Structure 1
Amino acid sequence: MNWPMIPPPPDTPPCGPPAPVDGGWVVTRHADVVAVLTDPRYVVPVAPGGPPGTLAWLRGTVSRFSAPDRHPGRRALGVAALRDLDPDELRDAAARLTTRTLDRLATAGRVEVMGQLARRVPLEVLAARLGLADPAAAVPAVTAVAAAYHPGADPAAVTLADRAVATLLAMSPPAPAEAAANRIGLLVQAADATAGLIGAAVRHGLAAPAALGTADLLAEVLRLDPPVRATRRVATGPTRLAGRDIGPDATLLLRFDSANRDPAVHPHPDRFHPAGPDQADHAGCPADAGRNGHLALARRPAPALTFGAGPRGCPGERHALALAAGVVEVLRARCRPAGTPVRYAPHPTLRVPTSLEVTFR
């Protein structure tokens, strides 16, 4: 099949050697991004913390912003919270909630995917499985925290996020402070990333042939239009990366969106090209096929870097893909593109549509 071209957004830098920008470095090549993600001499910017029950406390306690000595233990808390969650069950639950929502909206003739499905369904399903007392009410609270989660948020958004953190703690099952924070952190980190993945899959794949499995669709969308476009690391001392001398305390912006289109890894970097069974990476992890025969990303050659790599790779990758698949599968069966413009919220590292309409078949 002749798959379409999906050009990168205009602000995606091309692949090349590490480039100095504003006193730091932009890293765009696949091999260089992987090298930084797997080298302990590059660390995440550490959040300082704050009063218990506030956004600053949450940021200072989750594994995402923890120093290297605190990260393994805190990450283990998140992994433990996810351990008993079955991705197949998550997908089925997301599909059921999506179906009920579409049934309710059928008389309107069209659906605004982002607000009515992408930002609601995955969070409500995940919150219920993580034991929050009111999963539906948790959704706006998680959304408020996610809006202020990254540095530089507007003070008014931080105030709303402080209240939302308190709301989420009150809904959460009793647990030590670190465990409660990392449970909430799972929801917050799923909010924008999963919504953006669903939005991209709907935008690029709603009209794709039914024979294309949703897992393959999501895998290629993660590469070509990732919801998380970049992440940051800080050099702990003088290092050398791809022939460049990196000074101590230098900030490196790792561009997943560029690395995912590196022509050294993807010969046709801008072409949508899902992997077939003959392209499985038999030297990697064993096959992980879901109940419907969907191949896991681990079997795809040169998978997208969007979920990260190394010791800080996303612990909830399989769960996020399952939640997104449940929503997207139902939309593919029941809806078609509305043809209206897709708009995106301005953000330095995320790419999440603010609105995306579809109509019923």
Structure 2
Amino acid sequence: MTDTWPDIAPAAGTPACGPPSFAPERGWWVTRHADVRAALTDPAFRVPAVESGPPGTLAWLRASVSRFSSPRRHAERRSIVVAALDALDPDELRQEAARLTGAVLDRAGDRLDVMRELARSVPSRVLAGRLGLADPAAAGTAVAVVAAAYHPGVDVALVRRADRAVATLLAEVPPAAPEVRANVIGLLVQACDATAGLIGAAAHHLLPLPGGDGAGAVRTAELLAEVLRLDPPVRATRRVTASAVRLGGRELPADSPVLLRFDAANRDPAVFAEPAAFRPGRPGAGLLTFGAGERGCPGDRHALALATGVLDVLRERCQRTRVPLCHEPHPTLAVATTLEVSVR
């Protein structure tokens, strides 16, 4: 068993912790743990509004899900997601993710790209099946297309592809009111890249290189919690101030764009002793990657269960190769483009 863990260096672009800072080209950045938590739980900081569109389009989906809802609509839409998740057993999700991962490895040959073959497809397929979609495999493919265009500001061609994928998913979701169907699809889409990013980061940090010792007997769940802290797949989230507000000793005017940096806050030395050190099983519950307050992620246990199922099998059967790790371009997510492993 590995007793000494190497530090995990912060990803490129991760700022150091400090008071809220402002620059005209990017707005406000919030990096300290206490400030990020305060902003997540203060109604003066709101999720940026999105424009709607014709029913069945990507714009309609974004405007209908709890993730982008106004405070007036958020609670009722979130309750749809919570009800859907309450019907799912995380342990069953983990077991099914492990089974599908093993099946993929059985036919993979001696090399496999974790990101292309497992990280998105397995969690999406398991979740889609448990949520009752008619063809989980086809749904998983469509979910990845929607996820690529889900956040506003992407290329028009991606939006058009996503519009077609939303139509595909609507045909797969069990009959229900449009808002219910939209939030079931939103649940799948929001889990897609975040879970894939976690699996990629964990495989990169935890799988041994040829001749290495790996992570020994430490439980995957404990390892994932520390990966989430040090190398989170969701590095930041956006807010806008609804009114003038004071945060961390700074005065933020109304309508200010704010970026809450989870990656920096999770390394705040005021909260985490030796913040760069990889220490599975740290005491306390200071992790902010899943958010906090009324908009905190309702599916954290389910995402961890899906990732654990995939990683349990990878740890047993795979080694990481020495191919350098690169990430997809994204302002708030960190998802590896490829991650090659050798299969035993």
Instruction: Say which SS state the counterpart of residue 218 (structure 1) adopts.
Output: helix
The match for 2:303 is 320
Q: How much does 1:10 deviate?
A: 2.2
Q: Which residue of 2 aligns with 1:255?
A: 261
Is 1:220 the counterpart of 2:256? The answer is no
Q: 2:276 matched to which residue of 1?
A: 270
Pair 1:7-2:9 in alignment: yes
Output the aligned Cα RMSD.
1.0
The equivalent of 2:160 in structure 1 is 159
Residue pair 1:265, 1:302 contacting (<8 A) in 2 also: no
State the Cα distance separating 1:334 from its structure 2 match: 0.3
Task: Measure how far apart 1:2 and its partner are.
Answer: 2.1
What is the aligned partner in structure 2 of residue 17 from structure 1? 19
Counterpart AA for 1:9:
A
Residues 144, 164 of structure 1: 8 Å contact kept:
yes
CA–CA separation in structure 2 for the residues paired with 1:243 and 1:205: 39
Scaled by the length of structure 2, what TM-score is found? Answer: 0.96
Give the structure 1 partner of residue 128 of structure 2. 127
SS at match of 1:234: strand
- 1:128 Cα offset (Å): 0.3
Q: Distance in 1 between matches of 2:186 and 2:12?
A: 31
Mapping of 1:49-88 within 5 angstroms? 49-88=52-91
Instruction: For residues 197-236 of structure 1, give each alpha carbon's deviation from its aligned partner in whole angstroms, at most 9, with x where no partner exists.
Output: 0001100011333311100110000011100000011111
- Give the match for residue 283 of structure 1: none
Write out the 4+ residue segments of structure 1 that deviate beyond 6 Å after TM superposition. Answer: none
- Aligned equivalent of 1:137: 138
- Unpaired segments ≥5 residues, structure 2: 209-213
Give aligned pairs, total.
336
| Amino acid of the structure 2 residue aligned with 1:231 | T
Question: Could you give the per-residue CA deviations for residues 265-320 of structure 1, whole angstroms, max 9, x where no partner exists?
Answer: 112111101116xx3xxxxxxxxxxxxxxxxxxxxx13321110000000111000
Q: 1:302 & 1:79 partners in 2: Cα distance?
A: 22
In 2: Cα distance, 1:6 partner to 1:154 partner: 33
Give the letter for the 1:250 counterpart. Answer: S
2:323 is aligned, of 324, 328, 340, to: 340
Between the aligned partners of 1:116 and 1:22, the Cα distance in structure 2 is 41
Measured against aligned partners, the alpha-carbon deviations of 1:223-260 in whole angstroms (never above 9, x if no partner) come to 11100000011111111011100100001100000000
Task: Determine if contact 1:63/1:74 at 8 Å carries over to the other structure.
Answer: yes
Displacement of 1:187 after TM fit?
A: 0.4
Counterpart in the other structure of 1:210: 216
8 A contact 2:271–2:286 mirrored in 1: no
1:45 is matched with which residue? 48
Q: Say if 1:219 and 1:303, in contact at 8 Å, map to a contact too.
A: no
Q: Secondary structure at the match of 1:344?
A: coil
The reply to whether residue 360 of structure 1 matches residue 337 of structure 2 is no
Mapped to 1, the partners of 2:23 and 2:120 lie a distance apart of 33
Equivalents in 1 of 2:98, 2:227: separation in Å? Answer: 19
Q: In 1, Cα distance between the equivalents of 2:12 and 2:148?
A: 24
Structure 1: gaps of 5 or more residues: 280-300
CA distances 1:135-160 after superposition (whole Å, capped 9, x unpaired): 00011110110011001110000000
Any conservation in 1 of the 2:325–2:338 contact (CA below 8 Å)?
A: yes
Matched residue type, 2:99: R
Q: d(CA) in 2 for partners of 1:242 and 1:254?
A: 13
Distance 1:21 1:128 in 2: 45
Counterpart amino acid of residue 124 in structure 1:
R
SS in 1 for 2:233: coil
For residues 303 and 127 of structure 1, what CA distance do their matches in structure 2 show?
31
Q: Does 1:232 align with 2:233?
A: no
